Homo-oligomer: A and B are copies of this chain.
Amino acid sequence: MRLVIARCTVDYAGRLAAHLPAATRLIMVKADGSVSVHSDGKAYKPLNWMNVPCDLRTSPGEWVVTNPKGETLTITIEEVHLDIEHEMGQEPGLQKDGVEAHLQELLAARPEAVADGLKLVRREYPTDIGPVDLLCRDANGGAVAIEIKRRGEIDGVEQLARYLERLDLDGRLRPVRGIFVAQQIKPQAQVLAMARGIKCVEVDYDQLRGEDTGRLTLF
C-alpha cells in the first residue's frame, strides 16, 4: 500500500463530472491498484476514487487513473508532504454474523416462530421474477409466502406483493397468504402491508439464535 499526503486538485469524469479545488489530502493506492482520495472528514468514504480494474500512470505533477469504461480520475499534485510504501501481507478476511441470511436460516429451521402451525415447504422458492425467501403451508394446508428482511421497509413489502401476484397464478398454491418478517418494521411499511393484505411479524434475532440450541457458534 502506498500512502501519499499532498496538496492537490482532483477531477473525475465518468458517470458524472466532479472537481476538487486545491487542498491537502491523503491519496491511498492499494495493492489491487485501486486509488482513493481522502479528506480529513466525511468518514469513511473517500472524496474521489477509482475502483479496480483500473490503470494508474504517474508523472511528477500529475497522476491519471483510467478504467476500461473510459472513466478518468486526474490528480494534479502541487506539493508532496509524505510518500510511503508499506507491505501489508495477506488479508485473512472478514467474518460476519447476524445478516439476513442467518435470519433466514433460523426461520427456515423454526417457521413456527413466525406463526403457529407453519411448516416449511422450501427456502428460496423460485418464481419467474426471483425467489421467495420461504414458502410454507399453514395448519389448514394453505400456502404462505414469507419475505424476510433485517429491517422492514416499503420496498420489501412491494417485493413480497410482486411475488404473491406470481404465486397466485399457480393453481396448486392459490390462494397464497403473505407474511412480511423483519427485526423491525417501519410504520409506513406496516400500512402498505395492511393495504396489500400482507401480515407483518417482528422477530428477535438474538432470541431466535438462543432458542436454536443446535448452533451456538459465535466465532
Residues of chain A whose beta carbon lies under 8 Å from any beta carbon of chain B: 1, 3, 5, 15-26, 28, 30-32, 34-36, 38-49, 51-52, 81-82, 84, 86-99, 155, 158, 218-219
Report if A17-B97 is in contact (Cβ < 8 Å); known contacts: A23-B90, A23-B91.
Answer: yes
Q: Is the CB of A86 within 8 A of B23?
A: no
Q: Is the CB of B41 within 8 A of A31?
A: yes
Give the docked Cα–Cα distance between A51 and B42 (Å). 9
A44 contact from B25, B51, B86, B97, Cβ within 8 A: B51
A97 contact from B16, B91, B97, Cβ within 8 A: B16
With a CB–CB cut-off of 8 A, which chain B residues contact A155? 155, 158
Q: Is the CB of A28 within 8 A of B17?
A: no
With a CB–CB cut-off of 8 A, which chain B residues contact A87? 24
Give the docked Cα–Cα distance between A32 and B41 (Å). 6
Give the docked Cα–Cα distance between A51 and B88 (Å). 24
